[in-house]
Structure 1
């Protein structure tokens, strides 16, 4: 998510939590100067599009401290900006202007815009929205947004509704991470077996009440790895995709280390969308599956949407 502030040649990019992004996306700054009105504030999203959809991993890699690396990535993995909303135009605030009027003004402002600046598609037809909800997932989108036509832009309130896909999967609990507050479980680290039978890291489940976090410590004790036992996520012969121990790119102080478990425990989780071979977002814990054979937890159970050209989404 990105809010763009333009005042002539001065352009600032900021995340929704007010982190500055300008220096990381010089190609977006250049495109804004070329395609956005001279004085405006636009809400939208920075994306990196590939032939198979959106690449969120490549987007994360763009946040790099070295200027030389930033310039290189701007060329090798160029980003685009997709405009959602118009918050100000020609020095006039539009925050209290109804959504329907803001949309009309945004369409006028971007009437001649060209890639890498795009206008997100919008419709008032429920049938079209249902079709988009189904087919756009194949381009890497995890749902659609519904906005009240008469509503103002309220940055600190939930005035929009996001309709996302909802699915379940049975995963192997390959490890866990401690919670930042103390000796309770912070998250379950999940895995699925690939075609070669290797357990690959697919995501985490982390939303637990504190009382449940304490219970999980006891429930996971029988699965702790013995000193002489091997684990598919440890050693040189580990899986291609495994949970890393390096600091988080967004939070340098966040501990990403994990406690390996014997891969014998299966859990059912809910998820919304896949990004490559992993869950895009944190999966929601449903319940343990003691009846399920861990070896049967493979990628084959996951529903794969039909591929859809992202360029058609942006041109819808």
Structure 2
């Protein structure tokens, strides 16, 4: 019996954690994924976009064969040098088996489970249950199976003050923030029905072009789409390190066919007459950047933008729409 894997339920960004009858879960700096072990024994690890991740994370795929029939929602994380290292997750994507094996030896991955969507048996459609019941069933799976690493149960609390303390105390270890979920809420595939408060001030943008080689870019030209779907230039990153350039370059693709920026010229800097030599790429890769709030009158960031990391787990719907500042 094969199971159809659902679309993931998502979270929307909020400034403050909500109050009320909600559960608070730690949001780790990881790669969102579903782990499925169906009744016939097939194991699939799928990204939010549906990409099969088994080849990149064999240390999770192999022990998943020993799970009972389940569909788990969670995040893949890597702990390295005392903190969670998202950049090491990127090194597992689109790599040869020998390269993946080397990464597994140096930095093994774990799966942090925060939801149970399906289990074996006649009442196996767990996603239709309220969150409080799904969480109880998830905890029961961990207890009954005596699950150990690479499996980790995501911390959860009903105490808002405790959740806020996580954001203060666990940030150095790599916590992104806290996700709030209604206790009575069912799992809504593809819906942004949860709330997420972040620890630090970052933002997302699309990569529209690069300087240097696509496989190892020097800088990234960033973009956002307006409500009509037009692609607007919003800033350029500072020069990438060699390792970051290699990690990002593996995820970029030259744009085949028309590009909304084809024929456009970009200045090398404020007040400069020098133009950049750019390579246009498929404007679908999302990156997370550190920014300030200063914009010019065209809606671009005034000051240098620092790349935090590529986010292949996100898509264009996660990027704030382009809106020029009001006059």
For normalisation by structure 2, the TM-score amounts to 0.59
Contact 1:2/1:43 (8 A) holds in 2: yes
In structure 1, what is the Cα distance between the partners aligned to 2:305 and 2:51?
A: 38
Q: Following superposition of structure 1 onto structure 2, how do residues 77-226 of structure 1 map, counting pairs within 5 Å?
A: 77-91=107-121, 92-111=124-143, 112-167=146-201, 179=208, 206-207=223-224, 209=226
Task: Name the CA shift for 1:53/1:100 in 2 (closer, same or farther; >3 Å).
Answer: same
Alignment partner of 1:14 is 2:46: yes
Gaps of 5+ in 1: 170-176, 180-185, 189-200, 221-231, 234-238, 266-279, 290-295, 300-316
Partner SS for 1:75: helix
Task: Name the CA shift for 1:123/1:249 in 2 (closer, same or farther; >3 Å).
Answer: same
Aligned position for 1:261: 268
Larger radius of gyration, structure 1 or 2? Answer: 1
Alignment root-mean-square deviation, CA: 4.3
In structure 2, what is the Cα distance between the partners aligned to 1:76 and 1:31?
A: 19
Task: Name the CA shift for 1:210/1:178 in 2 (closer, same or farther; >3 Å).
Answer: farther
Alignment partner of 1:61 is 2:91: yes
Query: Displacement, 1:178?
Result: 8.4
More helix by share: 1
Partner SS for 1:95: helix
Gaps of 5+ in 2: 1-31, 212-217, 257-264, 273-286, 297-302, 307-327
Query: Displacement, 1:160?
Result: 0.5
Alignment partner of 1:39 is 2:30: no
Partner SS for 2:254: coil
Query: Displacement, 1:69?
Result: 2.2
Aligned residue pair count:
236
Task: Name the CA shift for 1:150/1:244 in 2 (closer, same or farther; >3 Å).
Answer: same
